[in-house]
Amino acid sequence: MGYVAVNLLDVLPHVWALLSIFGFVFLLPVQAHANRLNERQLGSVPFDRNASLSAWNWVVVVVGAMLVVISVLAAVSDASK
C-alpha cells in the first residue's frame, strides 16, 4: 500500500511530485525477504548473489543518478516560476 501511495504522489503539482522518487523504499523489505528465502531454499549450494557491481552496473548507476539530478533541478526551477 505504501508503494502505491508514494507513487500516486506523482500527480501532485511541482516539487511535491518528487516524493514519488522514494517509492522504492517500500520494496526494500520485500527484496530482503526474497533473499532470505533463496538462502534458506538453496542452503549450502553456491549461487550468484550479485554481491559486486560490474563496470556496466556503475555506468547505469551514474547515468540514472544524473537523470534524477536533472529531474529534480527541472522541477525546482519550474516551481520557482
User: How many structural domains are present in the chain?
Assistant: 1
C-alpha cell at position 35: 533473499
Domain span at residue 28? 2-79
Work out the number of other CB atoms within 10 angstroms of the CB of residue 79: 13
In which element (H, E) is residue 7 found?
helix 2-8
Q: Report the candidate in 57, 38, 34 with the shortest Cα–Cα distance to residue 48.
A: 38
Note down pLDDT in tens along the chain; length 81 residues. Answer: 888 888 888 787 777 777 888 888 999 999 999 988 988 888 777 777 777 889 999 999 999 999 989 988 887 887 666
Report the alpha-carbon distance of residue 32 to residue 35 in Å, rounded. 5
pLDDT at position 38: 86
pTM, entire model: 0.62
